[in-house]
Amino acid sequence: MSVVAALGFESAGVAAGIKRSGGLDLALVVNRGPLQHAAAVFTSNRAKANPVLWSQQVVADGRVCAIVLNSGGANCFTGAEGFQTTHATAEEAALALGVSAGDVLVCSTGLIGEQLPRERVLAGVRAAVAALSAHDENAASAILTTDTHAKTAVARGAGWTIGGMAKGAGMLAPGLATMLVVLTTDAVLEPAELDAALRAATRVSFDRLDSDGCMSTNDQVSLLASGASGVRPDVAEFRHALVEVCTDLAVQLQGDAEGASHDIRIEVVGAASEDDAVEVGRAVARSNLFKAAVFGNDPNWGRVLAAIGTTSAEFDPYAVDVSMNGVRVCAAGGPDRPREEVDLTPRAVDVLIDLKAGAEAATIYTNDLTHDYVHENSAYSS
């Protein structure tokens, strides 16, 4: 149960023949109402895929009836022909569902720069409409690319539910087709409330996942609300539950990141501002040398400090403390406990950085840099 855990939703996942493997590659999620409210956030990459350009227009009025997602091709840098494929996909779904194409979101994931097989996509849409079910288990699988398993999450409030599914092997899967997320709820909320809650939740969850520093052209997180529970939730409670679902999915994405052998949690405390904490965590998360050291189970805190030094965050290099898996290896910018005391063999690695510059904090989630990451991203072409 994922996107259909909330009342008012049906979904389907079918094999449309887009992927050469013949596996599930097209998903459809339909909001049967009574409300069809929605919000969505998109990649900030200025090179946006055709489905992103389309979906930004669709969601502008806060009304969405359905969302079509395909794996097997990103439909990015595919020009006018690619945009027409996205448009035709929405039209096909709209026709079969009896709604307006302007209320159908589209997401694509896969290799950049190649056209989708349009007729197969359209036939897949028709097959998905025919397969729609409130008990569907296939949609979350049909959106996967190099992911090794489906990722779903559910949170329940007082009479309402949030469900979600996600794909993405880190921030960026091969071919630059990456994180797609669909969240559904049967709570009664206005589009503006959904939008504010979604932005607040993604800011502290998906935006803090930085597996390989590469930003996708296709990222899209959509939140659809059916109002089918008839319950208007406490907005603070709803927001809290949404953060929970988003963080759950983000951590699942981290755990399935391409080639990763460690899930690294970088907690930055003692920052002068939350922005400083995020900047520091992200700089460490993007240091190939730090990430390669973690792969080698080497608690190389010098690489942590060198990464911090590249930021504009407020800190004194000779005040900073760094702990790795509970052992403070660096105190006040100098050696503390011996490196040998740190055990980095577990998959989970906790890095705690105290900037000693204030009271703000943030946590960034990343992965190590491994032979398998290099292999998957150098050998991928299908």
Query: Residues interacting with a second copy, by CB under 8 A?
Result: 45-48, 74, 76-79, 111-114, 172, 174-176, 212-217, 286-289, 292-293, 295-296, 298, 300-303, 305-311, 317-318, 330, 332-335, 369-371, 373-375, 377-381
Active-site hit among 43, 152, 178, 363: 178
Question: How many other CB atoms are there within 10 angstroms of residue 375's CB atom?
Answer: 12
Q: What are phi and psi of 324, to 5 degrees?
A: -130, 125
For the chain, the helix, strand and coil percentages under 3-state DSSP, each to the nearest 5: 35, 25, 40
Whole-angstrom distance, CA of residue 24 vs CA of residue 51:
19
Residue 372: CB minimum distance to a second copy, A = 9
Cα separation, 50 vs 29, whole angstroms: 19
29 beta partners: 11, 67
Tokens 């960026």, located at residue = 172
Is 178 catalytic? The answer is yes
- Residue 176: how many other CB atoms lie within 10 Å: 24
What's the closest the beta carbon of residue 55 comes to a second copy, in angstroms?
17
Residue 21: strand, helix, or coil:
coil
The total number of residues written for the chain in this structure: 382
274-285 and 301-308 helices, crossing angle to 10°: 130
Query: What are the C-alpha distances in Å from 163 to residues 191, 223, 243, 351?
Result: 17, 10, 12, 31
Closest CA to 31 of 132, 156, 176: 132
238 touches 198 (CB < 8 A): no
Closest CB 364 distance from a second copy, rounded Å: 17
For residues 313 and 316, give the distance between their C-alpha atoms in angstroms, rounded to a whole number: 10
**SS3 track for 140-205:** HHHCCCCCCCCEEEEEECCCCEEEEEEECCCCCCHHHCCCEEEEEECCCCCHHHHHHHHHHHHHCC
Active-site annotation, residues: 178
